[in-house]
Copies of this chain bind each other. A is one copy, B any other.
Amino acid sequence: MGTRLALRIQERYEELTPSEQKLAQFLLDRPDEILASSATELARFTGVSKATAARLFRNLGYNDFNDVRLQAREERNRTGPVQQIPMPQAAVDEVVTVPTHLQVESANLTRTFEELRPDVLNAAAEQIGGAGRVWVAGLGIENGIARYLRILLTRVRPGVHMISENAATWPEELASTGPNDALIIIAVRPWTKQIATVLTFARTTRLKTIVITDPTNTGKARRKEATVLNCHVSTPWSELTQTSVLSMAQLLAATVANRIGGRAKARRDLIADLAEEIESGDI
């Protein structure tokens, strides 16, 4: 569960103008900054004008920046003293040190899994465990992680397939799916048209869809009636980090295994044995 501000942003993200999105993005990545900083500072951080900032908050349905701040404060008081690991500032020299890296990764992991609702995770696992076949998709940089997830799932249940990296052939590949199948899409920002297309397709064919994504896109995915697993991926510099995405994949696979139970374990052992035999050259 995120803050109310975050929810509003996710709902209206597409309607926002580009500079508003820049600022909104920042607020999603670092919600605590609302409490500590003035609107002027937020604008400066993200390189937009004060005017744009004022407009954004109005467009999100607040009267005032003050409204926003008050709401944020109220929410902070309500949620217990969760020891959030703060995201470091952008270092001026832009050099990534090992401790900074660790802190960034920890912050993202912590936020990701403290926000993750177990019922959502279980729903996703249920869909995957109960599906006839499972399809895993990941474009571009996410492709490697998608393959990783596929292998994890293959260890646990049969019938897990990758959808090719070439988005052009997705229609053909997806054509053979049925309503008893499940589709897992790994897609952090930027959100491409292909993804939107596939999600629409999945909804019309009643394919169970699980989307692993970042807060910028949860709204879009949810509107397509997908189960959304939200991962924090931001860093103080401009790159993203996929660590929490991989970790989410790991957890998802483990949860599916739990759900399936004994059969999953048997299958894992079988695979381990096979791997060992191949390695030792007995075959």
Contact = CB atoms under 8 A, between A and B. Distances in A.
Given A76-B36, A193-B279, A105 B98 contact: no
How many copies, total? 2
A contact residues, range: 35 or more
Interface string A27-45: 0000000011000000000
A148 B152 contact: no
Nearest to A150: B144
Most chain B CB within a 10 A radius of its CB, from A76, A82, A149, A250: A250
A190 interface: yes
A177 interface: no
A68 B141 CA distance: 43
A150 B102 CA distance: 21
15 contacts: A36-B73, A77-B88, A82-B99, A96-B258, A97-B118, A101-B250, A101-B254, A105-B247, A105-B250, A106-B106, A109-B109, A140-B151, A144-B150, A145-B148, A193-B279
Contacts of A250: 101, 105, 241-243
Interface string A94-134: 11111101110110011001101010010000000000000
Contact of A141 (B79, B121, B152, B193): B152
Contacts of A279: 190, 192-193
